[in-house]
Structure 1
């Protein structure tokens, strides 16, 4: 009796093993469909990340426009750079309106979307800092630290890509001007 049970179990295991190794057309098709879905999901995530980063930079530049203009030249040049990147990322696509009230996003509605996203981005990302020095209070500089860093990063990246008055081969001068911008942001009330 035990031998028959062992033989039956071995037969079941063998059948399961063979079915798992079956390389039929259905398995190939399922694998191809899964790979296509994964590629589409990765493409959608890259688009989402690119759009979010470019809107964060546009909001950062708008948030500290006066300081950028004083320390790094005309802020419009940097805004134009990120708007061009955003248009290139979107291409001919239209992202649907969001459940949170976000308007549909396309090349034609970039400004409308930017106006909608600006106050939310400033409060959620640029003014959401925490107590950095452990004194139990959150100062304006601590609260806005992340936003100030974002402003500096966006200006620096655009300059390194050849846009704006800080563009050029003199990386040392650019570094000092970016640091001066960061310092001027941290020294003022946000």
Structure 2
């Protein structure tokens, strides 16, 4: 439907990245608050314009309780640019509520067919056992370079990112990545880390995969 209506796929974009509960600051902020800790807010995003900041803890979205970053990503991915959402969050012990208008990122539609991983627009390499151990991982698939494709068009993922999970399933090889993406259907959430911050897990939502 998006292809007919827009000529390209469009997904709603909030503009925040979440922590994984391991930093001292995050543990302190979420000790007495159930929610998701914001580690980064993208400039010019809907979240930034609404005044959200690093260190805020998102606790609710449109009246629904939020306890994981995946819940936020899935709910936002189901919305359209221009839609308004009501976000509740905690800042330094004070509960706040803000209404914000989602922005969109447009990308050319690419179907994931036979060579699913290649359609993402990236060159992947299995993480060596030595590198995985250095990062505290059991395995993963690293993005060596990016080119035009789904990853660049739908996300702000950067080269060097190590994919460790697709829809919560652990990924250790490029073959497992391809299989997981084929099984994902029309959307997927990929999780992983950047080598410079191995203790912080990032999640990216991919839509209109097939």
TM-score bin (small chain): under 0.3
Which has the larger Rg?
A: 1
More strand by share: 2
More helix by share: 1
